[in-house]
Amino acid sequence: MKLYRAYAKVNIFLKITGMRANYHEIISRFMRVDSLYDELSFVAKEESEDFKIIGSFSCKTEQNTIYKAYLALLNALDADAAALLKNLMYKHGVKVDKKIPAFAGLGGGSSDGATFLKMCNEVLHLGLSQNELAAIGIKVGADIPFFIYGYDSANVSGIGEVVEEFKEHLLDIELFTPKLEISTPKVYAIYRENFYNPIDGFEVEKLKKTSSLDILKKMSADEANDLFKPALQEYKELKNYYKHGYYFSGSGSSFFRVKDA
């Protein structure tokens, strides 16, 4: 069976622009990391269960982003296509060779979910466009649309549903992930309570036009990522892992830098 790569990402910058209901609106530069990826494939299975994920996961199947993506896709399809999808998953499991650490700010779960949606679309000839897949994906996770589009680099805004390609060369990213599981909802809650200071539209436009390399040359780790300070406040041990010249991805716990920059 064909292997599909689900790449990691880093947030070159992540700034809060406001609130929409209970969601934080952001502007962020997502960049794909080509050196780190999970591998997904469909494998035939003998057990007659509806859905099976084969791989090393700490969460239950029902909590897994791949399973949630399956349910969202099922819900979006007409009866005939839904029957094809159910039949595919009745006969096959999703095998995941997991390399991207969980709870690390690298988008591993979202990338897996997006890759699963693209696999189903290809294998079953569903004919869904990237926009249609992204609209399904955003119901599952805010980072999924970025991975659906597969851009090297993109400005991501709203709550993750607006993905605009930013044309630049991929940077050679070096990653460091402490063995520390960070809760994204908790970090956002601390940000909202103690650090809430959304940037204005002028600053947003400036960031959107600046190359990733220039951002990293001009900004410090806490200037580039609004979630770094709240993460440090909530997870005191995080400061023991921070090294000068590194940046913080998402809500953590991963740090990154550009090799030889």
pLDDT, one tens digit per residue, over 36-53 is 999 999 999 887 678 999
Write out pLDDT tens, residues 111-157: 999 999 999 999 999 999 999 999 999 999 999 999 999 999 999 99
pLDDT digits over 209-246, tens only? Answer: 999 999 999 999 999 999 999 999 999 999 999 999 99
Unique residue bearing structure tokens 């595919």: 88
Fold for 173-258, please state it.
Alpha-Beta Plaits (3.30.70)
Buried b (16+ CB within 10 A) or exposed e, 69-91: bbebbbebbeeebeeebeebbee
- pLDDT at position 43, please? 96
Cα Rg, the chain, nearest whole Å: 19
> Is residue 261 pLDDT above 60, yes or no?
no
Query: Residue 244 is encoded by which pair of tokens?
Result: 């000068």
Q: How far is CA 12 from CA 49, 156, 207, 218, 239, in A?
A: 41, 11, 11, 12, 19
Class of 4-165 per CATH?
Answer: alpha beta
CA distance 228 to 17: 16
Between CA 31 and CA 168 the distance in angstroms is 10
Choosing from 2, 9, 34, 38, the catalytic residue is: 9
Residue-averaged pLDDT of the chain: 94
| pLDDT above 90 for 66 | yes
pLDDT reported for residue 81 = 97
CATH 3.30.230.10 placement within the chain: 4-165
Decide if 9 is catalytic. yes
Selecting among 38, 112, 143, 226, the annotated active-site residue is 143
Contact 230, 18 (CB under 8 A): no
The stretch 196-214 carries a mean pLDDT of: 96
The two three-digit tokens of residue 223, written as one number: 């200037």
Q: Is 143 a catalytic residue?
A: yes
- More confident of the two residues 21 and 97: 97
- Intervals of CATH 3.30.70.890 along the chain: 173-258
Q: What is the pLDDT of residue 23?
A: 85
